[in-house]
Amino acid sequence: MLGLMQNWPLTVDKIIDHANHWHGSREVVSRSIEGPIVRTTYARIHDRAKRLSNALKGLGIQAGDRVATLAWNTGRHIEAWYGIMGIGAVCHTLNPRLFAEQLCYIINHAEDQVIFTDLTFLPILIENRAKLPTVKHFIVMTDEGHMGGFPGALCFETLIDQNSADCAWGGFDENTAAGLCYTSGTTGHPKGVLYSHRSNFLHTLVTMGVDVLGISARDTVLPVVPMFHANAWGLALSGPAAGSKLVMPGQKLDGASVHELLETEGVTFSAAVPTVWQMLLTHLRQTNGTLSTLKRVVIGGSAVPEAIVRGFRDEYGVDVTHAWGMTETSPLGTQATPNAAIAAMGEEEQLRYKLKQGRPPIAIELKLQDDAGVELPHDGTTFGKLKVRGPFVAGAYFRGDGGQILDDAGFFDTGDVATLDEHGFMQITDRAKDVIKSGGEWISSIEIENIAMGHPKAELAAVIGVLHPKWDERPLLLVKLKAGEQGTKDEFLAFLEGKIAKWWTPDDVVFVDDIPLGATGKIDKKLIRDRMKDYVLPTAKAKATA
């Protein structure tokens, strides 16, 4: 027997419809690419997005066609998103931090027909235009006065002015493709994750929960995390769904620029990767700045150093919560919001859990397995392969790349090594390819990095495994010091003492001028390993001599 409820397809056009009907006057504020602060509303975004939908139809775009965006977080980018998805086309967000060769590969693999671009990225598109045979139109997200020198490109504002807002949205199956986002491609070519309207809608509902992002109509939200990073962690959808004021930072993500928006717009909630918050903390300390309205920060993308959590909490009264996810999970998979038992603990005990990646919300299932596929206990200490299943987790890659990606039970292997504790809190200990295997045991490079980052002289820290004739691998700590600082190996090893198992202690410390970050803001271990490929540990030299 089936239920007798209405069939109301979960399509994302209904999200901006809701924002228009019930939160139409709520502001969306952008630091524009041209420079000035620009103010609009959900009602105006709704109107302009429909005009863009008609413009795209006039250019021949049909349901299922891929339309790309190469853009920062602005109101115009939101308009493009909903204008594309509302007519059943697929919004393909391009990551401008990728190399030109990777961008060309992704655009051609997706067979994008139109690219919406910010002014920032005109040079790369002009230079590589001949390598993009499927792209029929480039739309520059500006007005006629700022178009720049891209022959044949169309003007965003002109298209809006020339088209009507009378456009029918939706009317298609909720499983219709809505968005396409490619993985960062740290191994091989990037792979496309194809979100459906249903998966995006369900992800939006889940992340709005108080134990996840928990944003409301009373919040002012600053999504520093880019819209090209797995839907800005859903904030470009959950913000309108909740009726939150949105503050879009454009291309200026330095500490001073982020602080200006936080204060002038009365931001209460924000989300970004750890490097952004490290820059903000540095700026606040250097300028004696204050955070007068910010209450909560969600950090994800990579493990958050304890020093950042303590800095926000102790110096500025801001609650920092860790989250974990990936492109394949839409992306939020866990959030480190305390449960009742943890909330009853003291502040320092709670901190131990806030440094973990958190517990899964409804609709996300997690499990740990060993190499033989045996499920592992949730004891907080046993490392295992992290697998995930749920309605907004990828079931396959676009065009079948990578083949079968689910196990027999329908779980996706995240490629992470993690632990799960008795409270259901998950902690990433490494990427499977980064875990250090020493004498048959595993060492977490991430845990050592996070502790080393707490040293007052450290700006960034990275740990890799280096070959050792006796132990297979031993950890090497690389440190980028803050400007003007001097450091020694002994003082960093002394700082780690008592905070990690003795046998985890790095065999050496190397001070470097740069620790490279990948396209998503994470430490690029692959590049570091390549740079250090000829490095020999002093302990390995001693063993060889003996």
Residues with a catalytic annotation lie at: 183, 328, 437, 442
Return the sign of the alpha-carbon dihedral for residues 216, 217, 223, 227: positive
DSSP character at residue 430: E
Instruction: Output b/e per residue, 162-188; b: 16+ Cβ within 10 A.
Output: ebeeebebbebebebbbbbbbbbbbee
User: How far apart (Å, rounded) are the C-alpha atoms in residues 247 and 221?
Assistant: 6
Closest CA to 411 of 322, 327, 329: 329
Paired tokens of 264 = 């002038």
What count of Cα atoms within 13 Å lies in the side-chain half-sphere of residue 256? Answer: 2
The CB density around residue 210, as the number of other CB atoms within 10 Å, is: 9
Calpha distance 15→19 (Å, rounded): 6
Please state, as a whole number, how many other Cβ atoms lie within 10 Å of the Cβ of residue 108.
Answer: 14
- For the chain, how far is it from start to end, CA to CA, in angstroms? 77
Number of Cβ atoms within 10 Å of the Cβ of 427: 27
Please name the residue that has the structure tokens 């939020």: 332
Q: Give the residue carrying structure tokens 């456009």.
A: 167
Strands (E), 286-327: 296-299, 319-325
Record the tokens describing residue 363, joined without a space. Answer: 């609709």
Cβ proximity of 418 and 429 under 8 Å: yes
Q: Quick one: tokens of 210?
A: 């108080």
Please, which residues have CB within 8 angstroms of residue 341's CB and are 6 or more apart in sequence? 423
154, two tokens: 């169309």
How far is Cα 506 from Cα 477, in angstroms, rounded to an integer? 6
406 pairs with which residues across the strands?
412
Place of tokens 């493009």: 80
Give the distance, in angstroms, between the CA of residue 80 and the centroid of all CA atoms in the same chain.
20
Helix axes 42-58, 75-85, angle to 10 degrees: 50
Which residue carries 């250019």 as its tokens? Answer: 59
Is 309 strand, coil or helix?
Answer: helix
Q: Residue 497's beta-bridge partner residues? A: 500
